[in-house]
Chain A
Amino acid sequence: MSEENWIEVGSTDSIEEEDLIRFDHQDKTFCVYKLTDGFYATDGICTHEAVHLEDGLVMDDEIECPMHQGIFNIKSGEALSPPACEDLKTYPVKVDNDKIFIKID
């Protein structure tokens, strides 16, 4: 993969701990999370119904969809609780000079 696949999301202080921000790039939406042990990124739309996860609840390592309470593991993308049954795509994240980058394939 080439270096240019790393896309800058914003500064590390733009996200509170145990919270997330939405990041739109081209025609796609992502969620970038700050957990106690670092930053993570997933697709921004729930796999159950087309709703933005940006309004969801982050608890420990999980994001819960605000519409129907499907739960995903933020680090692995695994769908943990129905009605969600399809996993959420995750993306590599790096921090460089207090800036967050995600790698989009």
Chain B
Amino acid sequence: MKNNIIILGGGQAGIYAAREIRQNDTKSNIKILGEENLLPYERPPLSKDFLLDKKKEEDLYFHSSDVLKNENIEFENISINKVDFENKKLFAKNDNVYSYDSLLISTGSENKKLTLDNNLKNDIYYLRNLEEAKKIKEIVSNKNKITIIGGGFIGLEIASSLSQLQKKVIVIEIGNQLMGRIIPKQIADLVQNTHIEYGNEIILNKQIEKITKKNGDYEILLNDNSLIETDFIIAGIGSTPTVKLFENTNLKLDNGIVTNQFCETSIKDVYAAGDVSNFYHPFYERNMRLESYQHAQNHGICAGKNIAGVKTEYTSIPWMWSDQFNLNLQLTGICDEYDEIIERGNDINNGVIYFFLKNNKIRGACGVGIIGKVGRDIRITSKLTEKDTIVDKQILSDQNIKLNKLIQK
């Protein structure tokens, strides 16, 4: 049967869903509605290789327009401002109306903004999309002392890139460690040491009291009355799911759009995937919302299968990475539910991994090392987690024994 399938949101989850639907359904119309006038592109390089000029805009696109054309996937740059779930219609700002049989919402997430009592809104920069990355890249070329508010992944990746561009960088973090939302303190401390070795200043446990503009530069007053002078400010203080469009509808929302393990929302024929979805994970038996490359991709693919009628549970063990300086940090699974921690290695040059176990089974792991040094073990850990079996702790803790031993048949 030929259906109209609309994908609202032109990011990674959307494009992977579209291509997966097409693999399973050659007849239906598939249309992606994107707010940016750009084909879906990779965001991870924006804070790293794009700022460093190692990747250009044309390197970022997932697929060329030819691929979409060949697979008969339409992409339209349009902003939707109203949804009528009952009549299965989307309304655009320019009065266009789009009817759907199945809808995938993949609107992603958006940056939280600093609340400032003076009119400095346009002076603080954020990085999520290509346009913002371009602006930052252009402006920092004339700046020297840059302050980053927020010591999470995005802030630290920018800090790493700007340091490599010979800028003086200060990172201010409100918490008592970097990347505190999901990264264990042991790993965060190793990353912090590297930033300091490369000359970045890291300030923890401090809140911003006030930012004042002075002769084109800025003064940041912290809650211990210390003052930071800076000529450019970037904030990376977390994100929220992009759900404003659905706030006055009967779509069930709770830290994003609530979905089950099949990417189905509370409304029939409406699916959600990627950053915007607070999904049920059958392995961890709880709901979670993830903001990562692997999740956007795999959740999009899973939604695509379900929309095309191939009933598929989403069971991916979470995985994410961050690249800072010459370090590659990786996390798999969930590191906040454990009764035992096992350490593997103690030298960042060979990689350091912390495994988080519950009832002698791995729930998650987080590692950091010089590029290439933790990836294999983290990947094996994902497989071990998925297997849900009791692991040999001696092998986990001994870097001289390859973890491959634990998964070989």
Which A residues are closer than 8 A to B by beta carbons?
18-19, 49, 51-52, 54-57, 59, 64-69, 82-83
Annotate B320-345 by CB proximity to A: 1 below 8 A, 0 otherwise. 01010000100000000000000000
Q: How far is the CB of B54 from chain A (nearest CB, A)?
A: 9
Excluding A19-B404, A55-B373, 9 further A-B contacts by CB distance (< 8 Å) are A18-B404, A54-B372, A56-B375, A57-B380, A65-B375, A66-B372, A66-B373, A66-B375, A67-B372
Task: Say whether, besides A51-B371, A82-B297, A83-B42, A69 and B379 are in contact (CB < 8 Å).
Answer: yes
Complex Cα spacing A97 to B321, Å: 43
Which of B16, B49, B375, B379 gathers the greatest number of chain A CB atoms within 10 Å? B375
Complex Cα spacing A19 to B405, Å: 11
Query: Which residues of chain B in 356-373 are interfacial with respect to chain A, using CB atoms and an 8 Å cutoff?
Result: 371-373
Q: How far is the CB of B301 from chain A (nearest CB, A)?
A: 9
B376 interface contact, C-beta 8 A: yes
Q: How far is the CB of B330 from chain A (nearest CB, A)?
A: 9
Task: Say whether, besides A18-B408, A69-B294, A51 and B379 are in contact (CB < 8 Å).
Answer: no
A83-B372 in contact (CB<8A) = no
| Residue tally, chain B, CB below 8 Å to A | 22
Task: Say whether, besides A18-B408, A83-B293, A64 and B373 are in contact (CB < 8 Å).
Answer: no
B376-A56 in contact (CB<8A) = yes
Complex Cα spacing A49 to B375, Å: 14
Name the A residues within 8 Å of B371 (CB-CB): 51, 67
Name the B residues within 8 Å of A82 (CB-CB): 16, 62, 297
B372-A69 in contact (CB<8A) = no
Which of B16, B293, B373, B376 gathers the greatest number of chain A CB atoms within 10 Å? B376
Complex Cα spacing A54 to B376, Å: 10
B376-A57 in contact (CB<8A) = yes
Complex Cα spacing A47 to B356, Å: 32
B280 interface contact, C-beta 8 A: no
Task: Say whether, besides A51-B371, A82-B297, A67 and B380 are in contact (CB < 8 Å).
Answer: no
Task: Say whether, besides A18-B408, A51-B372, A67 and B328 are in contact (CB < 8 Å).
Answer: yes
A67-B293 in contact (CB<8A) = no
Closest B residue to A64 by beta carbon equals B379
Which B residues are closer than 8 A to A by beta carbons?
16, 42, 49, 62, 293-294, 297, 319, 321, 323, 328, 371-376, 379-380, 404, 407-408
Name the B residues within 8 Å of A56 (CB-CB): 375-376
Name the B residues within 8 Å of A65 (CB-CB): 375
Complex Cα spacing A83 to B63, Å: 11
Name the B residues within 8 Å of A64 (CB-CB): 376, 379
Closest A residue to B408 by beta carbon equals A18
Contact of B376 (CB < 8 Å), options: A18, A49, A55, A68: A55
Complex Cα spacing A49 to B45, Å: 10
| 25 pairs from A and B in contact (CB 8 Å cutoff) | A18-B408, A49-B49, A51-B371, A52-B372, A54-B372, A55-B372, A55-B373, A55-B375, A55-B376, A56-B376, A57-B375, A57-B376, A57-B379, A57-B380, A59-B407, A66-B372, A66-B375, A66-B376, A66-B379, A67-B328, A67-B375, A68-B293, A68-B321, A69-B379, A82-B16
Q: How far is the CB of B395 from chain A (nearest CB, A)?
A: 16
Name the A residues within 8 Å of B297 (CB-CB): 82
Q: How far is the CB of A52 from chain B (nearest CB, A)?
A: 6
B321-A67 in contact (CB<8A) = yes
Complex Cα spacing A59 to B294, Å: 19
Complex Cα spacing A59 to B376, Å: 11
Closest A residue to B297 by beta carbon equals A82
Q: How far is the CB of A56 from chain B (nearest CB, A)?
A: 6
Complex Cα spacing A53 to B375, Å: 10
Closest A residue to B374 by beta carbon equals A66
Name the A residues within 8 Å of B372 (CB-CB): 51-52, 54-55, 66-67
Which of A64, A65, A67 gathers the greatest number of chain B CB atoms within 10 Å? A67
Q: How far is the CB of A51 from chain B (nearest CB, A)?
A: 6
Name the B residues within 8 Å of A18 (CB-CB): 404, 408
Complex Cα spacing A55 to B370, Å: 11
Closest B residue to A54 by beta carbon equals B372
Nearest first, the 10 A-B pairs at minimum CB distance are A66-B375, A55-B372, A57-B376, A66-B372, A57-B379, A66-B376, A55-B376, A52-B372, A67-B375, A51-B372
